[in-house]
Structure 1
Amino acid sequence: MADAKTGRLAGKVAVVSGGAGGCGEAASLLFADEGAKVVIVDRQGEAAKKLAEKIVASGGASIGIKADVSNAAEVNAAIDEALNAFDTIDVLFNHAGTIVVKPFLETTEEEWDWLHAVNVKSMFLMCKAVLPTMLKAGKGSIINTSSISAITATPLEVLYCTTKGAVHQFSRALAVEYRDKGIRVNAVCPGFIRTAHGIREVTELSAQGVDASEAAMKAMQGRFCEPEEVAQAALFLASDEASFVNGSHIFVDNTFTAV
């Protein structure tokens, strides 16, 4: 555990949604290691609490909160609990999200509404809950997890691509609106990641005839991205090192979107 006075997030309070697993877990641990007090918000409440306990046992400061971030009441309660514990919020990493892999004509209206709630509405709710505190302080950094799918289309992922396209523009527009208030808003955009989410995506694509083989993965981005590599990009955007990075999309995809 880094010294809380010298880490890259020293003195900051960071909220991580979807923070108990995958890239969110990697970010929670990394942020804590860089001196932040970390609020882990996840619908898997026990996992969030156990991860927070691990951080505390290592000398850090953290709490885990169970919340469905697509639900306004639960989001507001979670942010109230975070503020009661740590008084302020300097960083928000909106990472919670999921995927539907399905032919477009088989996609239901219920799935459309549900994935937009999880992937897009959640960011709207979390930002609305956190921004007043950041505005009061006159500073803050928000990082939203977008995807290569915001700008590159994949068969059977019309719904997912649409939600990530929304996250892309949500991040940019929010940055423009709050730039002169001291708030930075950026998006981190991973390629295929070695997480439960990423492995499930590849498995489901392959099962439905899309080439997501090891050879295809090597051609597209060389290898799977590791969750810690996404967390490192989020750390940079959260830190004061990115003080003039605002309204940007940082692709963590090893040239997937460059070719």
Structure 2
Amino acid sequence: MSRFSGQVALVSGGASGAGAAAVRLLVAQGASVIVVDRQEELGRALAAEVGAHFVRADVSKPSEVRAAVADGTAAVGTPTLLFNHAGTIVVKPFLETTQEDYDFLMDVNVRSMFVMTQAVLPGMLAAGRGAIVCTSSISAVAATPAEVLYDVTKGAVHQFARAIAVEYRDQGIRCNAVCPGFIDTPHGRREVELLTKYGVDVSEAAIAAQQGRMCTPEEVATATLFLLSEEASFVNGAQLFVDNGFTAL
């Protein structure tokens, strides 16, 4: 397929899960892909498998993000597609959540998108076009016990995508958020394990009632590629929920 032929895409958090699924689909559909992740072994293996370019970076550290974008641009070209996917989770009762937890999660889930977008956007503006997708979550609008901090960061991601869309619409840049429900990935399974520890019902039966089943990484990736593609040329500042009705209940 040539859906993204001649385009360069950068995927942060692309070494595993939905990020890796997006990398595979982007390459299969013609894009040259830069994978940025701190999971070096997984990232290099994926890059070798599909023919992508891997750069190891901790997205919570601005200097590493900027260096990674410079490295990838020199090796592959200027990205005009950006999947801001990197993120993590803290699951704790609110009164057990520490200032260190707050700083860590804000750095990984929010500041990383700020820094990554600032690093990539000038190239998009020079090219006169660009599409950005930020991974948010159902947690931006559907609060869960023991996830106050996570919910706050995903709410910030929601508004970040909207604000970028509004500021850069007239310069050919689109920015949207993809918002998965519970995903069958290491991240998603860890979330379920931690929530269960704190007495939140995320049993198979509960998830089935909320969203039918766990979402697959490929389902998130497919939705993301739609938002990155010209098929979504008039979709800007939107939140696409990939949750099988969870937030519609």
TM over 0.5: yes
Determine if the alignment matches structure 1 residue 165 to structure 2 residue 160: no
1:17 to 4, 12, 15: 12
Determine if the alignment matches structure 1 residue 138 to structure 2 residue 128: yes
**2:222 counterpart residue number:** 232
1:210 match: secondary structure:
coil
1:68 match: secondary structure:
coil
**d(CA) in 2 for partners of 1:224, 1:101:** 19
**2:138 counterpart residue number:** 148
Alignment of 1:1-259 (within 5 A): 2=1, 7-56=2-51, 62-259=52-249
User: 1:9, CA displacement in angstroms?
Assistant: 1.1
**1:59 counterpart residue number:** none
The answer to whether the 8 Å contact 1:46/1:66 transfers is: no
TM-score by length of 2: 0.99
Overall identity of the aligned pairs, in % = 62
Superposed CA RMSD:
0.7
Deviates more, 1:81-90 or 1:192-201: 81-90
**d(CA) in 2 for partners of 1:103, 1:118:** 20
Q: How many residues align?
A: 249
The answer to whether the 8 Å contact 2:140/2:152 transfers is: yes
The answer to whether the 8 Å contact 2:162/2:237 transfers is: yes
User: 1:87, CA displacement in angstroms?
Assistant: 2.4
**d(CA) in 1 for partners of 2:42, 2:217:** 17
**d(CA) in 2 for partners of 1:172, 1:109:** 27
2:70 match: secondary structure:
helix
The answer to whether the 8 Å contact 1:50/1:64 transfers is: no
Mind listing any 5+ residue stretches in structure 1 that lack a counterpart? 57-61
**d(CA) in 1 for partners of 2:3, 2:178:** 18
**d(CA) in 2 for partners of 1:217, 1:87:** 42
**d(CA) in 1 for partners of 2:244, 2:155:** 20
2:176 match: secondary structure:
strand
The superposition leaves residues 188-219 of structure 1 with CA deviations (integer Å, 9 ceiling, x where unpaired) of: 00000000010111111112111111110011
One-letter identity of the residue aligned with 1:49:
R
**d(CA) in 2 for partners of 1:257, 1:54:** 36
One-letter identity of the residue aligned with 1:10:
S
**d(CA) in 1 for partners of 2:234, 2:69:** 27
TM-score by length of 1: 0.95
One-letter identity of the residue aligned with 2:35:
I
**d(CA) in 1 for partners of 2:197, 2:80:** 42
One-letter identity of the residue aligned with 2:13:
G
User: 1:46, CA displacement in angstroms?
Assistant: 2.4
**d(CA) in 1 for partners of 2:77, 2:87:** 27
One-letter identity of the residue aligned with 1:86:
V
1:28 match: secondary structure:
helix
User: 1:25, CA displacement in angstroms?
Assistant: 0.6
